[in-house]
Structure 1
C-alpha cells in the first residue's frame, strides 16, 4: 500500500467472487454492494454528500462491525449455484449475520435458493436479512416469504430530495429527481413537442419517443416530455436538460444523467399553461435540495406488498426500514445511474429500493447482537419486530395496504435491545411447519404432524380465511422472558374493525425468572368477511415498562 494508511483494510476483512467467468474480480463494479455494505456497517465519514446534495455525516448501523463480502452477481445476473456457494462459505467463515439484497419472483421455499441457503444459516445460528422486493404496489409481490428470513420493506425518512423548476414568469414548480448539476444561468429556452422534432407526429414528439428528438433543435435547450421513460433519449441527443411528466413513484427521486425534474400532473399542467401562453418560453432547473417530510415514515410505492403468496398464514414483509433516497458509499468505478450517457463517478451515491432498507435492519440486528451475543436469530428478529413503531395505514395514500406493506411497523433499534419478551422458533419448529404443508426437503418429518403455518411461534399473527363464511382461528404462541426475572405482563388488544373479535387466554403472563417461557392462545373470530377484505388488530403485552406488540391480520382468500 506504499505506506499509505488503509482505513478500509480493517473494515472489509474478506471478499470472495463467484462466477463462471474465471476473470471475475471481487471489486464492486456496479456500486450496489458498496452501498448496502456501508449502510449496514460503514465507518463514520464527515461531510459526505452526492455532489453537495444531502450533505452530512455518513455512517453505517454499527460502524465498529467488520464486513465479509460475497460477490454472487455479475453483469449477466446472479446464478443460483453461486448464491448457495456464498451462503456455505459465509457459514463456514463464521459470520454473525447475512444481509442479502437481491431476489426475484415469489416461489416455493423448497425451490428458492435464498430460502434454502438461509435455512442452513439459521441452523448455525445466523440470521439472514433479506430485501422484500421492488415490485410494489402490486398485490402479493413480496418475494421474501420464508419465516426464517427477516423480510424488509422500504419506507421514507423525514428528509426528502426535491428538484425545482423556475419559469420565466416567476412561478416555481417542485418535482422529483436527484439533480447534481448547476446550470450556468437562470433562463434557458424550453422546447416541447414538434419544436424538438422534424420527423415525428405531435403525439410522438410530445412523448420524446426514441428517434424523434433532433439534436440540432434541442441543443442548449431544456426539453419538455410527456413520457417518464425518455431520459436516455434526451441525454443521447445532447439536450441541456429535461422536464418530464411522471405520476408513477412520485414519492422517490432517482439520480439522472442530466439536469432534470419529474413533475406530477398538477405541476406539469402549470408548465403546459406557461408553454401555451408565450412564444419564447424560458426557465431553469435548479440543483436538488432537501426538505422536511412530515409524513414519514411511509412505505415506498415500489416496495413489494403482501399477502404472502406461498405461505398464506405468515405475514410478509416483516418490518419496514429506510429505503428511499439513501446516501451511502459507492464504487468509484461504477456509473452513478443506469444510463449509458452518464459518465460520472463518485464515492457516494443516493439510491432507493428495498435493497437499501435491508442493510438498515442488518445494522440494527448487529446492534442488538452486541448486547445479546447469545440470542438466537428468531429472538433478534422478534425483538426488532415487537418494538417497531406502528405505522398509520391511513396515510399510505394510494398504496394503502396496511400490514401487507409495512409488516410489524417501522424499525426502532434502541427499543429492541430490551424488548421484554421474545417469540423464538427453532429448526424443529420450522420443520414442523414445513411438514404440515407436505414440504419434506429441509429435514426428516415426525410421524404424526398436526397444525399449520399459523401455529408457528411467530412475532406476527396472520390467517387467510374464506370469504363470506363465519370463522374462528386460534393462534398458539409462547413468549420467552428476556427482561427482569419477576415480571407480570397483561394483554391488551386493539381491534380496528368491529367485524372481528380477538381474545387472549390467559390474559396475564407472570414470570419468576429470565429465560422462563409462558404459552397463550390468541383467538380471532368473525362473521362472513367480504371478498378482498383485510382486517387488522394488534396484541400488546405490557409490564408497565415494556410493550411487546404483535400485528394481527385476517384476510380473505380472494385478494
Structure 2
C-alpha cells in the first residue's frame, strides 16, 4: 500500500460558521443500527459530532430552540435507532490511521449504517481511506453515507466520490430566520436576509448611519478583518463575506470598532444563498445582488442611513429546497463515469443538539445550535437510510441508495424546478438525482442493485492495477480474469456520459432493475433527452409478473453532429420508468469534451 498523507482534512462547522468554506477538520462520525454505543462516548470538543449524531438519530425533544428561534419539537431522522459514535479527529485534523481503525471497529460492532461528515480532496480510491473503509463496510451489508464537501459552488469540488458511497449535497428548508436591511427613508427599499441572533433589546425603529467597510479602514477592510475598521462608532457597517475571515469574526470586528450593527453581503459566487448565524451584534446576511444595491445607495448620498428589522422564524419559503452555495459540485474527478453528488438533503440552518448552551441558558439541560454544511445534510440521509433498511432488512446498500435516488424530488414547494444559489435551475452536478423524499424512498417500485463483487470490473475499467484494486477490496484480483467494464456500465441509478472528439459518437450501456413493487406491474418509458443527443432504449416497456423479478434494458446514446461545439459544455436529462403507482427516475449527465 502506498504511504498515506500525514493528515486527512475534513469538513467542519465551528460556532455556527462554515470555517470559511475550507476543508479543515471534522470531529466525529457515527454508526446507526443494531450495534450498541461503546462505553464512555468520546468527548465532543466543538459540537460537530453532537449535532450530526442527533440529526441522524436524536430522540424527540419538545421546546427545542436557539435564542428563541425555530421553536418546536426536535427529532432525528431515525429517533429509535441505537447510536455509536467513533471519534477520529482532533483540533488539528483527522489522521488516516484513526479513520481506518474506527471504521474497522464500527464494522466489527455490527452497525447497519455508517455516516461520515468528513472528507478530503479528490484522489484515486486506492489512496482514499474513506473509500477503502466504505468498501469493507458495504461488503458486510453496511450502508455508507458521506458529505459531498463545502467547496461549492465550483465544479469538480467533491469529496467522497466512490460509487459505493452515498454522496450528499446540501439544500435549504422552508424555514427562514428572517431579518431585513432597510436603507434610507423609503420603507419599500428593503432587502431580505437571515440572522440567528435577533436581540430583543435592539431598537429596529431607530435609523442609524450606514457605512461600507471598504471605505472606513485599512485594506482589506471590506472583509472586516481584525483590526481594520475605524470611525464606525454607532453605525451600521456593510461587510463582505470571504477574505479568509469567518462571518462571525467579521461581526466581532465591527463590535470591537464600536459599530452598532452589521449588514453582511455575499460574494458574487454565493449569489442569493445566505446563512442564519449567531453574530456578536445585530446582523442581517443578504444576497450579493442586495449588497450591490446597498453599496450603490451608500455611494449615491452624503448621509446614508439604514435600519435592521428582525422578523423571527418564518415558515413557508416557496423556493425551498434550493441548493446551498457551499455545497460541492460535480463532475466526479475520480470517476467521471459516475454522476455525483447522488442526492441533496437539508443542510442549511439546521437545528440539532449541542454539547453546551450557546445562549447562556440555565433553566434547561436541552441545548441546541443551528449550523450549516454538507456535514448537516449527510446525517439526514443516514437516518433515512436506516429507516429504509428497517423496512427492507434484506436490501443491499446499493438497493437502498437506488431507492433514495430514483424517488428524489426535482421540484420545489412552488412546483418549479429546484434552483441553485443564483436562483437558476440547479443542474445535476449540483443536486444529483434531486432532493430526498423519505416516504417515496420506502416504496420505490424498482431498484438498481449492485453487489460488492460487481465493483471489481468497474475498478479494472478505471485502469487501476491489480495491486491497487486489492488495496480497496482486500482480496486478490486479476482484471484479465474478471473482465473490464466502463464506468458508466456499472448498474448505477444514474448515467454520466462523456462525449469526446476521439470517442465513438454512439455509446451503449445496460441496466438491470428488480421489481420490489406489486407483483404484476407494467412500466412505460419517459425520456428527457439531453442537449445535442439522441437516445434509444430497448425494450421501451417493462412488464413484471412477480416480485423480485429482474429485467435488463439497453440504452444507446447518440451524439448529434456538432455536439459540444456550440458553447454548451454539457447536457442533462432523465430516463424514467412510469407505472400507475411509481415513477423510477435516473438522471443523465452528458459532458462534451
TM-score (norm 1): 0.86
Paired residue for 2:13? none
Q: Which deviations, in whole Å up to 9, do the C-alpha atoms of 1:372-415 show, x marking residues without a partner?
A: 11111011111111111135668436365511111111111111
For the pair 1:95 / 2:111, whether they are aligned, the reply is yes
Give the secondary-structure state (helix, strand or coil) at the position aligned to 1:129. Answer: strand
Aligned residue among 508, 512, 519 for 1:485: 519
Moved more, 488-497 or 420-429: 488-497
CA distance, structure 2, for counterparts of residue 411 and residue 193 of structure 1:
40
Going from structure 1 to structure 2, the CA distance change for 1:233 and 1:98 (only over 3 Å counts) comes to: same
CA distance, structure 1, for counterparts of residue 385 and residue 241 of structure 2:
41
Aligned residue among 146, 151, 158 for 1:135: 151
RMSD over aligned Cα atoms: 3.0
Q: Which deviations, in whole Å up to 9, do the C-alpha atoms of 1:499-531 show, x marking residues without a partner?
A: 211111122223332222221111111224215
Asked if 2 retains the 8 angstrom alpha-carbon contact of 1:50 and 1:180, the reply is: no
What does residue range 297-316 of structure 1 map to in structure 2 within 5 Å? 297-316=321-340
Q: Which deviations, in whole Å up to 9, do the C-alpha atoms of 1:17-66 show, x marking residues without a partner?
A: 9xxxxxxx812121111111111111111221111111122111111111
Aligned residue among 438, 444, 455 for 2:476: 444
Q: Which deviations, in whole Å up to 9, do the C-alpha atoms of 1:177-235 show, x marking residues without a partner?
A: 322423343426435369996xx46x655654432334xx5455433445664334224
Moved more, 304-313 or 270-279: 270-279
What does residue range 149-188 of structure 1 map to in structure 2 within 5 Å? 149-166=165-182, 169=185, 171=187, 172-185=190-203, 186-187=205-206
Asked if 1 retains the 8 angstrom alpha-carbon contact of 2:168 and 2:345, the reply is: yes
Asked if 2 retains the 8 angstrom alpha-carbon contact of 1:162 and 1:291, the reply is: no
Paired residue for 1:123? 139
For the pair 1:504 / 2:514, whether they are aligned, the reply is no
Paired residue for 2:554? 521
Asked if 2 retains the 8 angstrom alpha-carbon contact of 1:125 and 1:376, the reply is: yes
CA distance, structure 1, for counterparts of residue 455 and residue 406 of structure 2:
20
Give the C-alpha shift of residue 110 in structure 1. Answer: 0.9
CA distance, structure 2, for counterparts of residue 284 and residue 486 of structure 1:
60
Aligned residue among 356, 367, 384 for 1:364: 384
CA distance, structure 1, for counterparts of residue 221 and residue 431 of structure 2:
40
Going from structure 1 to structure 2, the CA distance change for 1:270 and 1:70 (only over 3 Å counts) comes to: same
| Residue ranges of structure 2 left out of the alignment (5+ in a row) | 1-32
Give the secondary-structure state (helix, strand or coil) at the position aligned to 1:360. Answer: helix
CA distance, structure 1, for counterparts of residue 427 and residue 213 of structure 2:
45
Q: Alignment length, in residue pairs?
A: 527
For the pair 1:474 / 2:513, whether they are aligned, the reply is no
CA distance, structure 2, for counterparts of residue 472 and residue 189 of structure 1:
65
Give the C-alpha shift of residue 482 in structure 1. Answer: 1.3
Going from structure 1 to structure 2, the CA distance change for 1:363 and 1:210 (only over 3 Å counts) comes to: same
Give the secondary-structure state (helix, strand or coil) at the position aligned to 1:286. Answer: strand
Asked if 2 retains the 8 angstrom alpha-carbon contact of 1:118 and 1:149, the reply is: yes
Paired residue for 2:396? 376
Going from structure 1 to structure 2, the CA distance change for 1:493 and 1:224 (only over 3 Å counts) comes to: closer
What does residue range 15-164 of structure 1 map to in structure 2 within 5 Å? 15=38, 26-164=42-180
Paired residue for 2:493? 459
| Residue ranges of structure 1 left out of the alignment (5+ in a row) | 1-9, 18-24, 337-344
Going from structure 1 to structure 2, the CA distance change for 1:295 and 1:287 (only over 3 Å counts) comes to: closer
Give the C-alpha shift of residue 119 in structure 1. Answer: 0.4
Going from structure 1 to structure 2, the CA distance change for 1:279 and 1:29 (only over 3 Å counts) comes to: same
